[in-house]
Structure 1
Amino acid sequence: MIDMERKVAKDIVHKGHDDDVLIYDVRHLLPAWLSAEIVEQANLEAADLDLINQAYRLDSGRQVLRSLPTIIGLDELEQAGMTDCLPELLNYYEKATDHLILSNVWVLESTEAKLAQLLDHDGLLDIGQRRRVHEVLKKIDGCPQQGLLYFTLFNDTSNYFFYRKHHEHVPGLMLIEAARQAMYAQFYEHSGYARGEVSISIVDLLSSFPRYTESSFQVDVVVGDYEGMAPPRGRKVDKRARFFQRGELVADIRLHGEVIKMPVFKRMRNITIDPTHWFHPLKGIRHEVLVHLESGRHLAGRLELLSMGGLQIQGDSLGDSLDMPARGHAYLYLESEGMISLPVQSIVESHAPKGSLLTLQLADLDSAMRFKWREVLKQFTYFSHQQALPAPAAEQPLWMTVDPTAAMPEQRIEA
């Protein structure tokens, strides 16, 4: 099990719990080579220059990653049994008569690991070194930038969602979720937007799985914009996540989306809920309900159903002692924010198999409370049935008499 500090922060990937985060050990892809002149003109401090010299070697006017050969003889590939890698290498090297010459500024870590075995020493940097070198490179004017981030997949085979059924391979759905998380983390790193300022609305998702991803070996994912770096604070999202295991591509996922500012996103999600729709409580809300009436009486019961206009709770019979109309407040506990108070206008009792069913009709809710109560129904409940509320017209709040298909008052204001 890894240290939790190595995981990406749950807020960055839009998760509520650390155990839902599927990526860790974030690091940037380092340039395969730099102009020696750029490094010389940077006037780096001695410690920073030492980090660069540990990671790069001077080779024909270029600083080249020590783990990458500048020139590869085709006979070397054959002797090392790496002839099959030639199509892959041609993405990063130019082919001459009998050798390859490093040309691309960006070489994936999976290819770098393969090529390290061609050198006399293992020059691969560990994750800590890569992070430190990247921090130095950020200070150098003119240093190549690509916005490519690497992560390692946290493949917990005891995960309650992805591994309820035993798998000998990583489920594709888990890779898709890891790609989404990595894309969010990369977006907040390079887009210029702050967390909470915007949301990403997914338009479409394209995925390819050329190989099975084994559960027993490390999986790394590299994420970036599909074509170069997107402009700062752009409105379109086009991300690509590629998963590699033992040097081979096992999944390739592309996401198209749009950047939506949070006020706009909230308006888009501000749906109207018909007050005659009743919902079952599912999660995030405790089922114990307390009611305090203006007469001084207290009631308690178990929450059964919720609607925009009322609550139904199971409890003891009220008998004939309830003052009418029974005004007061109902109190429920939300796990996300604590106690919520709802104004009660009247109570109707009916008999149920396990006792009495109390229907609490809510009084008029102000705009802020209507919004909050709708969010409770949207997030913590599931639709049960539609039934007309039994409240008499004289007692029914004005906001509940509008056409249920029309927009709520605050929606018209926000729009």
Structure 2
Amino acid sequence: MIDMERKVGKDIVHKGHDDDVLIYDARHQLPAWLPAAIIQQANLDPADLDIVNQAYRQDSDRLVLRSLPTVIGLDELEQAGLSACLPELLACYEKATDHLILTGVWVLESIEAKLAQLLGYDDVLDVGQRRQVHDVLKNLDGCPQQGLLYFTLFNDTSNYFFYRKHHEHVPGLMLIEVARQAMYAHFYEHSGYARGEVSISIVDLLSSFPRYTESSFQVDVLVGDYAEVAQPRARKVDKRARFFQRGELVADIRLLGEVIKMPVFKRMRNINFDPACWFRPLKGIRHDVLIHLESGRHLAGRLDLLSMAGLQMQCDSPVGALDTPTRGHVYLYLENEGMISLPVQSLLESDGPKGRLLKLQLADLDTQLRFKWREVLKQYTYFSHEEPAPARAAEQPLWMTFDQPSPMPEQRIEA
């Protein structure tokens, strides 16, 4: 198992527990080369200059990443068994008559790992070194910047969700969740928005899985903006996550979304529940319920159903005679929120299939408590049924109801 501090923070990827974080060892992609003049003009202190010199070597008027050859003979490729890599090398090397010349500023770590098979280029930088180099280069004027982030997938095959069924490969659903987490981490580092200032609403998700992702080997994830670097505080999200295993692309996922400021997001998610709808409690809310009446009496039971207008609980024994009026408060405990108290207007006891049922009618809730209770129903419950409206008495004509004006015509008064 890895050290937990190597994982990305759970808040950054919108998770509540460290166990749910699936990415670690975050690092930036380093430029394959940069003009030597940038370092010469930067007046770096000796420690920072040593970090750069440990990672780059002088090659004419530029500095080249020490793990990358500037020139590769085609015969060298063949001898190392890398001839099949020529098409992807042409994305960053230019082909001459019998050799390749490094021209691209950005070379993928997967290509870098393959080129380590060439004689003299197996000294690849580790994660700590890459972070140190990036911290020096990011503040230098004129230094190439692309905003690409690498992560390593934390593939815990005992994960309760993704590996409930035994798999010999990483499930595609897990890769999609890893992509989402990596994109959130990338967004908060490069967008200009602070955590908690906005939410991202996913509009579209496109995925491709050219190969199975094996469970037995490391998987690295490269995430960045899809087409070009997004402008600071942009309102649209278009990101791409590419997964590499043993130098090969195994998955490619694109996420498109919109940035929504939190006050707007909360208004959009402000669901109104019909008081006739009843819900069953799920995980996150304790089933033990305590009622304190104004008379000083206490009642306890197990939570059965909830609605915006009331609660239903089961009691092991009869409640007995209740004082009138039966006003008071009911107390429930939410695992991540603590105790919540709701005002009770009345109680009604009845027989149930497993004992006695106690139905609580809530008093009017103020705006803040009403919002809080609505969030409880939204997050901790699942719909059970809708209670039908009480029917009118069959023997009572419609025109005799007290809340409706009489539809009968006025009778003529005879003289």
TM range (shorter): over 0.9
1:228 Cα deviation after fit: 2.4
More deviation, 185-194/381-390: 381-390
The residue that corresponds to 1:47 in the other structure is 47
Give, as a single letter, the amino acid of the residue that structure 1 aligns with 2:74: L
What is the deviation of 1:336? Answer: 1.2
Cα separation, 1, equivalents of 2:256 and 2:283? 31
In 2, the alpha carbon distance for the partners of 1:307 and 1:268 equals: 21
Q: TM-score, normalised by structure 2?
A: 0.93
- Structure 1 length-normalised TM: 0.93
Contact 1:325 1:347 in 2 (8 A): no
Task: Measure the CA separation in 1 of the matches of 2:15 and 2:79.
Answer: 49
Match status 1:11 vs 2:5: no
Among the aligned pairs, what percent are the same residue?
A: 81
**Is residue 38–residue 143 contact of structure 2 (8 Å, CA) maintained in 1?**
yes
Amino acid at match of 2:65: L
| CA–CA separation in structure 2 for the residues paired with 1:228 and 1:53 | 30
Is the aligned partner of 1:288 residue 2:288? yes
**C-alpha offsets along residues 280-325 of structure 1, whole Å, 9 cap, x if unaligned?**
0001110001000011111001000000000000013122x20233
For 2:146, the equivalent position in structure 1 comes to: 146
In 1, Cα distance between equivalents of 2:245 and 2:200: 28
Distance 1:197 1:389 in 2: 42
CA contact (8 A) 1:279 1:384 kept: yes
Q: Deviations over 1:82-131 (max 9, x none)?
A: 11000010111111122111111111101011112224242200110000
Letter of the structure 2 residue corresponding to residue 261 of structure 1:
K
Cα deviation 1:5-44 (Å, max 9, x = unaligned): 1100000000000000000000000000011111111110
Counterpart CA distance in 1 for 2:228 and 2:65 is 21
- Pair 1:171 & 2:152 matched: no
- What 5-or-longer segments of structure 1 have no aligned partner? 393-415
**Corresponding residue for 1:82?**
82
Secondary structure of residue in 1 paired with 2:349: strand
Deviation per CA, 1:25-78: give whole Å up to 9, x if none. 000000000111111111101111111111001112110000001111111111
Does the alignment pair 1:68 with 2:68? yes
Answer yes or no: is the 8 Å Cα contact 1:67–1:119 preserved in 2.
no
Query: Relative to 1, partners in 2 of residues 1:272 and 1:380: Cα closer, same or farther, differing over 3 Å?
Result: same
Number of corresponding residues: 391
- In 1, distance between residues paired with 2:129 and 2:153? 20
- Contact 2:74–2:99 (CA<8 Å) still a contact in 1? yes
- Whether the aligned pair in 2 keeps the contact of 1:27 and 1:127 (CA below 8 Å) is yes
What is the aligned partner in structure 2 of residue 318 from structure 1? Answer: 319
Partners of 1:297 and 1:120 in 2: CA distance = 83
Amino acid corresponding to residue 89 of structure 1 in structure 2:
L
Q: In structure 2, what is the equivalent of residue 247 of structure 1?
A: 247
- The 1:304/1:389 distance shift into structure 2, 3 A limit, reads farther
3-state DSSP of counterpart to 1:124: coil
Amino acid at match of 1:181: Q
Q: Which amino acid aligns with 2:319?
A: L
Cα distance change, pair 381–323 in 1 and its aligned pair in 2 (3 A) = same
Distance in 2 separating the partners of 1:269 and 1:121 = 54
- What is the deviation of 1:274? 0.4
Moved more, 348-357 or 279-288: 348-357
Partner of 2:261: 261
Displacement of 1:142 after TM fit?
A: 1.1
- Which residue matches 1:333? 333
* Gaps in structure 2 of 5+ consecutive residues: 393-415
3-state SS, counterpart of residue 256 of structure 2: strand
Kept after mapping to 2: 8 A contact 1:33/1:63: yes
Match of 1:356?
356
Q: Aligned Cα RMSD in Å?
A: 1.3
> Contact (CA 8 Å) 2:69, 2:121: kept in 1 or not?
no
Distance (Å, rounded) in 2 between the aligned partners of 1:88 and 1:128: 27
Secondary structure of the equivalent of 1:111? helix
Whether the 8 Å CA contact 1:278–1:305 is kept in 2: the answer is: yes
